[in-house]
Amino acid sequence: MFELSAELVAFLMLGGVFGLVLTGFPIAFVIGSVAFLVGLLIFGPTTTYHIIYSRFYDLSLNYPYLAVPLFTFMGVVLQHSGITKDLYESLYESLGRLRGGLAIVTIIFGTILATCLGVIAASVTILTLIALGPMVERGYDKAMAAGTIVASGTLGILIPPSIMLVVYGPQAGLSIGQMFMGAVFPGLILAGAYLSYVVIRCHLNPEAGPAIPADQITPFSAAKLWRLLKSLVPPVLLVLAVLGTIFSGIAPPTEAAAVGCLASILLAIAYGKFSFALIKHACIETLRVSAFVVMIAALCYAFVGVFMSAGSGEVVAHLILSVPGGRWASFAMIMLIVFLLGLFIEWIGIVFIIVPIFSPIIIKLGFNPLWAGMMICINMQMAFQTPPMAMSIFVLKGAAPPELGLTMADIIKGVIPFVLIIMVVLLLCTIFPGIITWLPEKVLGISH
């Protein structure tokens, strides 16, 4: 054992994670290795084992995290139920004749998907397979088409029932219901801002998103309206089954997630897509995602346990609280750190490491924890679209048919306007915090 200052421990642990992540090692092994080695160095084996074991045990008792596999299962079943294809085709027939109509349809479709799936990889994959081809074939600007899909798909990280919100809430001492309600208006405003950008750009530059010729689309009719309404029924029912039970107080989020699983199975049966092969695939995918979350969560819990036990949390708090410019400068520093980490580290690692460290600081600064938490989540959504990590960009590139000729440069060029839009929405939420806090305060009667 060695006598190391809290400052040096903070530098070794945070610097070690950042440096090793850049080498390409999986984030879970990086975090776990750094925690274990630094723990042995300063505490010795017995104390280190006790810290790590106690943190693992605390994680196992965290009941709200049961919602993660349930929402994942629901999303996978819906992904293969046929609902998504029918909905996109109905929207396509209704709005395709407008300039930028396919991009508008993609954003609306992505917003609806976000309320049903809550998993970004699934949303981006579905949007890529369904929407990218038609947009490119209709002469849409490839960069705008790719950016629209990435931005629409990443709404799933923010709009309930988002897996990230499920994970973030307990880490910050907030209920999942609070997080879901706080995310509703920011998510809808983002979707509306995306739509406005597409409409304005295609109006100024019609070649970026040409309208589909009228002779290639059947005239609007009562039958078409009926098909559109019919395709909207399943997602509306699912939203009512999940978010309705939460917002009305009938059931907490974990139980509502179970209701969502049942609803997704019933919808698959109604669409004739139910099979034991589907359930097997959904279970395997749920196990894969859940194992990934639990492994990272457990090792991040261990990391934070060693970090806090060494007194390094106080070092970080002192550093942020002493930033010149008052509490807003300190909060800006927190947001900058989260954004920079998001460029290199997956969101789940950020949530489990940074949130337990930053939450007490946010309270000391006098900010509403729910407002600050949603600001951090929106910030991480922006990081999801910003290279070099940018998981949604890589999902799109991997799912895009090679014959479309979509390059990484096209995708990066396309996401830049949407990243700027997120920055504007962050500014709006800063100026008008009620965008985040109004609904939870009205429904739950909770204020901070």
Retrieve residue 7's tokens: 């400052």
> Measured between alpha carbons, how far is 412 from 151 in angstroms, rounded to an integer?
11
Give burial (CB, 10 Å; 0-12/13-18/19+) of 191. buried
Encoded amino acid at 26, one letter: P
Q: What is the pLDDT along the chain (448 residues), one digit of tens a residue?
A: 677 788 888 888 888 888 887 777 777 888 889 989 999 888 888 888 888 888 888 777 777 778 888 888 887 887 777 677 777 777 777 776 778 888 888 898 888 877 776 667 777 887 888 888 888 888 888 999 999 999 998 888 888 888 888 889 888 889 888 899 999 999 999 999 999 999 999 889 888 888 776 666 666 667 767 777 777 777 778 878 888 888 777 888 888 888 888 988 988 888 788 888 889 988 998 888 788 878 888 888 888 888 888 888 888 888 898 889 889 999 999 999 998 888 777 777 888 888 888 999 999 999 999 999 999 999 988 887 887 667 788 888 888 888 888 888 888 899 999 999 999 999 999 999 999 999 998 887 765 5
Encoded amino acid at 185, one letter: F
pLDDT at 110: 84
Q: How far apart, in Å, are the Cα atoms of 126 and each of 111, 113, 119, 393, 419?
A: 13, 9, 11, 14, 21
pLDDT at 217: 63
Radius of gyration of the chain (CA): 23
> Measured between alpha carbons, how far is 296 from 82 in angstroms, rounded to an integer?
32
- 25: number of Cβ within 10 Å: 12
Retrieve residue 65's tokens: 């995290």
> Measured between alpha carbons, how far is 238 from 74 in angstroms, rounded to an integer?
10
pLDDT in tens, 15-43: 888 888 777 777 788 888 998 999 988 88
> Measured between alpha carbons, how far is 52 from 205 in angstroms, rounded to an integer?
57
> Measured between alpha carbons, how far is 51 from 36 in angstroms, rounded to an integer?
10
Orientation angle between helical segments 101-116 and 83-95, nearest 10 degrees = 150
Helix/strand/coil for 248? coil
Retrieve residue 305's tokens: 């346990």
Per the rule left: phi > 0, alpha: psi between -120 and 50, beta: everything else, 405 is left
DSSP string for 107-159: HHHHHHHHHH---HHHHHHHHIIIIIHHHHHTT--HHHHHHHHHHHHGGGGTS
Domain ranges of the chain: 62-274+311-444
Closest CA to 435 of 361, 371, 365, 385: 371
- 175: number of Cβ within 10 Å: 18
> Measured between alpha carbons, how far is 158 from 374 in angstroms, rounded to an integer?
9
DSSP string for 399-431: HS-GGG---HHHHHHHHHHHHHHHHHHHHHHHH
